[in-house]
Amino acid sequence: MSEESRDVWVYLQHDEGDLSHDSLELLAAGRKVADKLQQSLVGVVLGSDLKALCRDAVRYGADSVLAADSPSLASYFNLAYVEVLDAMVAAKKPYVFLFTANEQGKDLAARVAYRSKTGLATDNVQLEVEDYFVPSKNQTYKNLLIQIRPDFGTRLARIYTPTTRPQMATVRPGNFEPLELDKKRKGTVEDFPVEEKSYAARVKEVSELPKPAVDLAGADVVICLGMGVMRDKAGTPRNPKDAYDLAVELKRAIEEKMSQKTEIGATRALVYAELKELKGLIGKDNQVGQTGATVSPKLYLGFGVSGALQHRVGMQKSKKIVAVNLDSDAPIFQIAHYPIVGDLYEEIPKLTKLVGEVGIGN
């Protein structure tokens, strides 16, 4: 472990001249860790014409920015980006390096960790800083980044990397609230030289994939359906399409009465059940949870959702949580602000009627 290692780095992604929302969340995560370590937070930005992005990184929490600004980095190309990041790590020796657990972040983090001969903890939902005692060595490691992520079953794993630097982690989007923009905040920008290299592969064209039809991450209200849609309170089998139709009516009422963007989500179990009644209505784009979307809406409405850990880590940051389930011991009730033991086939129409008459407070 190098005693020279210092500062918390966050890799910042951007699109059309703006930092991504995921990157703003990562700045908030990095700020928390840096403050606990009493170290500086450094935003790492690669691309072309980065002046405005560097300014925004500081305004959203960074103390300084390390920028690799070159026309050769204008389009994302992992081979070139990894070369630059590896050179940065070798030259500056960060203590912690964080990436977002999205497509680009996962692509880069594993490659950089391998080159840096360090560990990588992926898909974290929380970060802490603590001391860590290793009995076999009778040694206490001070001020370690504790990386917390869902494990098998209902457990949360705490991952420690005491002997290598940088300590690297990817952070799942939706688990940190971006800091408020502070236009008066000042910071420094350091330009990192980019060595121009040629590669056997090169970027010839960039085409944007169509956006998913369901924007769970951007929703103000998420209505989530679970396997409880299969039966009513009497134990009578129900057509899950009936529950979906009720959710659509509630969605329409919320959008019309409250003017809140509303989306319909589903648990992993319901998505992977591939019920013929829900074909074309509920799919992977609707999935909320560890292997789906992480959401933090103003209001989460869970109907027939049991609340397994893998689902809870994807929605537990919701501002208000209403849960309806027949099982009074359902895990979802542990985090629900408004737990309702009842039949979703009765409760959804009641709620739809209430929204239509008086709305729901934001």
In this predicted structure, the answer to whether residue 284 has a pLDDT above a threshold of 80 is yes
Pairing of strands 139-150, 262-266: unpaired
Model pLDDT for residues 164-200, shown as the tens digit of each residue: 999 999 999 988 999 999 999 999 999 999 988 888 8
In this predicted structure, the answer to whether residue 151 has a pLDDT above a threshold of 80 is no
DSSP-derived letter for residue 330 is -
Length of the chain (residues): 362
DSSP 259-285: ---EEEEE-HHHHHHT-GGGTTTS-GG
Ramachandran category for residue 316: left, alpha or beta (phi over 0 → left; psi -120 to 50 → alpha): alpha
For the chain, how are helix, strand and coil distributed in percent, rounded to 5? Answer: 30, 25, 40
Assess contact for 228 and 304: CB atoms under 8 A: yes
Residues 6+ apart with CB under 8 A from 197: 80, 83
At 311, the amino acid letter reads H
Assess contact for 67 and 192: CB atoms under 8 A: yes
Q: Cα separation of 106 and 78, whole Å? A: 11
Mean pLDDT of the chain: 93
Percent of the chain whose pLDDT exceeds 90: 82
Select the more confidently predicted residue: 20 or 150. Answer: 20
Q: Cα separation of 303 and 312, whole Å? A: 14
Identify the band that residue 259 occupies on the pLDDT scale cut at 50, 70 and 90. Answer: very high
Percent of the chain whose pLDDT exceeds 70: 97
In this predicted structure, the answer to whether residue 362 has a pLDDT above a threshold of 70 is no
Model pLDDT for residues 78-102, shown as the tens digit of each residue: 999 999 999 999 999 999 999 999 9
Q: Which residue, among 49, 169, 163, has the nearest Cα to 98 in the 3D structure?
A: 169
Identify the band that residue 1 occupies on the pLDDT scale cut at 50, 70 and 90. Answer: very low
Q: Residue 179: CA atoms inside 13 Å, Cβ hemisphere, count?
A: 19
In this predicted structure, the answer to whether residue 38 has a pLDDT above a threshold of 80 is yes
In this predicted structure, the answer to whether residue 2 has a pLDDT above a threshold of 70 is no
Model pLDDT for residues 99-120, shown as the tens digit of each residue: 999 999 999 999 999 999 999 9
Mean pLDDT in residue range 353-359: 85
Q: Cα separation of 258 and 135, whole Å? A: 56
At 278, the amino acid letter reads L
Assess contact for 230 and 240: CB atoms under 8 A: yes
In this predicted structure, the answer to whether residue 153 has a pLDDT above a threshold of 80 is no
pLDDT at 237: 96
At 360, the amino acid letter reads I
pLDDT at 219: 95
Residue with structure tokens 């609340």? 307
pLDDT at 3: 62
pLDDT at 359: 62
In this predicted structure, the answer to whether residue 320 has a pLDDT above a threshold of 90 is yes
Domains of the chain: 8-191 (3.40.50.620), 221-358 (3.40.50.1220)
Mean pLDDT in residue range 209-224: 90
Quote the distance between the C-alpha of residue 197 and its chain's center.
33
pLDDT at 174: 86
Q: Rounded to whole angstroms, what are the CA distances from 250 to 50, 211, 217, 234, 243?
A: 44, 24, 19, 23, 11
